[in-house]
Amino acid sequence: MLNPYWVDLHVHTALSPCGELEMGAPEIVDASRRAGIDIIAISDHNIIDNFPAVSERAEGSPVVLPGIEVQTAEDIHVLAIFRDFSLAESFQAWLWKIWAKMPPTMNDPDIFGDQVVIDKDDGIVRMEEVLLVQGAGYDVDTVVRRIRASGGLAILAHVDRPSFSYPSVLGPFPSDYPADAFELSWRLDSTEAAKWRERYAARTFIRSSDSHMLESIARKHCTKMYLEAPTFDEINLALQGHGGRRVSWPWG
């Protein structure tokens, strides 16, 4: 039987330099529960290390999926969502391989803010020293291919935004672009959103909060999906419109 679930596949934590320090594990879990959101993905820039804290804290409510918001060589953001932590870790190991050869820029907390790895009670585990908002060295097509070959879902992030989006860097993507879905920003109004739907009629769009602060965790910033259960596999089927599962048009 299909039931509606509220899904937010794009939530940052205190590990993202642009994420507020208030984005701790108990705080994100509480805010998601209060907002009535059933499934979230933790998707910090280029890193997965705060997923365990939020997942352990949530104990299944909400369901927490491991994700990474990859920054490609062209400075395009792509969401990579995985079934489990070990798949996400393997993907991250591949993503960071180039930085072993070409030293990355290090974080300056005075400019970018702290990048804090936390435990489920917001205890500080360590500070990440590599600046997480920089291109990881692979082009967008390679990243998308690798995510999908690793069993993940590849979603072009905030395609309507004027920066760090595929269209802002490379222009319009082809309608058969091999991503699993495209994300529109919740800031978009329904008229503008409808243009995307018209232009890419056969494709699946989601809306996510891209939360960097607690107050933006809200149902009106995410997507309702009809699933048999709140799982990665069911979301995957819904993105494909398989077996009656579906993604509601967020501006419906």
What is the contact surface with Zn ion in residues (CB under 5 A)? Answer: 69, 77, 157, 164, 210
Report in angstroms how near the CB of residue 146 gets to Zn ion at its nearest. Answer: 18
Report in angstroms how near the CB of residue 158 gets to Zn ion at its nearest. Answer: 6
Q: If we measure between CA atoms, which residue out of 88, 87, 42 comes closest to residue 65? A: 42
- Cα–chain center distance at 203: 18
**Residue 73 amino acid letter:** A
> Which strand ranges, in their side-by-side order, compose the sheet holding 205-208?
205-208, 181-185, 153-156, 77-81, 63-71, 39-45, 3-11, 223-227, 246-247
Nearer to Zn ion, 214 or 227 (CB): 214
Nearer to Zn ion, 76 or 117 (CB): 76
Q: CA-CA distance, 150 to 179, in Å (whole number)?
A: 13
Side-chain-side CA neighbours of 71 within 13 Å: the count stands at: 14
Nearer to Zn ion, 57 or 77 (CB): 77
Report in angstroms how near the CB of residue 229 gets to Zn ion at its nearest. Answer: 26
For residue 73 the two structure tokens come to 């060589």
Report in angstroms how near the CB of residue 163 gets to Zn ion at its nearest. Answer: 9
Nearer to Zn ion, 33 or 212 (CB): 212
Nearer to Zn ion, 38 or 210 (CB): 210
Task: Tell me the sheet residues that pair with 126.
Answer: 117
Report in angstroms how near the CB of residue 164 gets to Zn ion at its nearest. Answer: 5
